[in-house]
Copies of this chain bind each other. A is one copy, B any other.
C-alpha cells in the first residue's frame, strides 16, 4: 500500500539498485553502462541483465551535472506562429537531433524585453543557444551575447565586440538572409516590368530586417531617380496586410512590396474583396517564400529565404562551437526572386 512519496516524483531504478542486484559496486555498473573495456565479460553480462530486468537507464540529469554537458540546446524565437521561425526551428531540430542533441524552445511573443531573460534562463539549462531576436536593441544584444556563449544568432549580424576589451574577440557567429539583396531583386523585378510608383509596407521599424529593406529602397532610389517608392507602416501578419488595402489604393502605386508573404497574402485577400485585380491593377510581392506562397491566387511573387537551411546552418555553427572548433562566421543567404502570378506589367496610365 506504499505510495510514492510525492506523486510527481517518479523514482525509477538507480545505479545503486542495479549494483546491488548484480552484486557489484556502483563504479562497475557505471563502467559497464559506458562501455569501458576494463571490465570482465561475465561480470558485464550480469550487470547488463540486472539493468535490463530493472529497466534501468542512467539519469540524464545526474550525468549532465557531473559531465558538464546536457546534450541540449535552446532556441529563442519571436513567434512560434510565424512560418519563418517554424522553418528555422525545424532545420535546427533536425540537425540537432541527428547528433543526439535535444532542443528547448522558447517563444518571446515579439516582446523584445522578454527575450533577454528568456534567453538567459533557457541558456542555463543547456549547452548552447540559437537566438532569433530581430527587435532587440543593438547594445542590449551586444551585452547579452557574451553571457550566452556558445551562441549563434539568426537573421541579424551582431555588432562585433569592441577590440581589445579583454574578451578574446570570439564574437558570435550568425546566419542571415540578405534582406537588402532580396528586396533589391524584387525592386528590379518590378522596375523591369515598368513600375515606377511603388509602395513598401513596412514591418516593425526596430527590426533589423526592416532596416535592411529600407536601405535597399534608399539605394535603389538613388540609382533610379525616376522610381518613386513610398513607405507605409504596416506590420508582419495577415491582418496587417489585410488592413492596408485602403492605404494601397490611396497611394496610387502600381506595385506593392509587402514586408513578407503573410502581409502579402492578407493584402491579396483584401484586394480581392474590393474587386481590385492582381496583377492587372496592382502587382504585389511578398518575402520569404513560405510554403503557402505558391498556393495563393494568383501565386505570389516573392523572394526565397531557405528558412530550413537557415536553421540547419545555425546548428552547424553551434555544433562546431560545442565541439571546441571554430565555425565559419556569418553565413549569408542571397534570396532568389521567384516570379509568379502576382506581378505583371505596370498598367497603362
A residues contacting B by CB (< 8 A) are 6-10, 55, 57, 59-62, 64-65, 68-70, 72, 80-81, 86-87, 89-90, 93-94, 97, 102-107, 109, 121-122, 124-125, 127, 147, 149-150, 238, 265-266, 268-269, 272, 291-292, 294-297, 299, 322-324
List of B residues within 8 angstroms of A69 by Cβ = 8-9
Closest 3 CB pairs of A and B: A297-B297, A7-B324, A80-B90
Residue of chain B at shortest CB distance from A103: B105
Report Cα–Cα, A29/B223, bound state, in Å.
64
Residue of chain B at shortest CB distance from A7: B324
Please determine whether A65 and B61 come into contact, CB atoms closer than 8 angstroms: yes
List of B residues within 8 angstroms of A105 by Cβ = 89, 93, 103-105
Please determine whether B104 and A103 come into contact, CB atoms closer than 8 angstroms: yes
Report Cα–Cα, A8/B61, bound state, in Å.
18
Report Cα–Cα, A60/B64, bound state, in Å.
11
Please determine whether B93 and A107 come into contact, CB atoms closer than 8 angstroms: yes
Q: List 22 A-B contacts (CB under 8 A).
A: A6-B324, A8-B68, A59-B65, A80-B89, A81-B86, A81-B291, A90-B107, A93-B105, A94-B109, A102-B106, A102-B121, A102-B125, A103-B106, A265-B295, A266-B295, A268-B295, A269-B294, A269-B295, A292-B292, A292-B295, A296-B296, A297-B297
List of B residues within 8 angstroms of A55 by Cβ = 147
**A81, A87, A122, A238: most-surrounded residue (chain B CB, <10 A):** A81
List of B residues within 8 angstroms of A103 by Cβ = 104-106
Please determine whether A57 and B292 come into contact, CB atoms closer than 8 angstroms: no
List of B residues within 8 angstroms of A104 by Cβ = 72, 102-105
Known A-B contacts A124-B60, A125-B102, A292-B265; the reply to A10 vs B86 at CB < 8 A is no
Known A-B contacts A269-B294, A292-B292; the reply to A94 vs B65 at CB < 8 A is no
CB distance from A201 to the nearest CB of B (A): 16
Please determine whether B9 and A291 come into contact, CB atoms closer than 8 angstroms: no
CB distance from A10 to the nearest CB of B (A): 7
Please determine whether A81 and B90 come into contact, CB atoms closer than 8 angstroms: yes
List of B residues within 8 angstroms of A87 by Cβ = 81
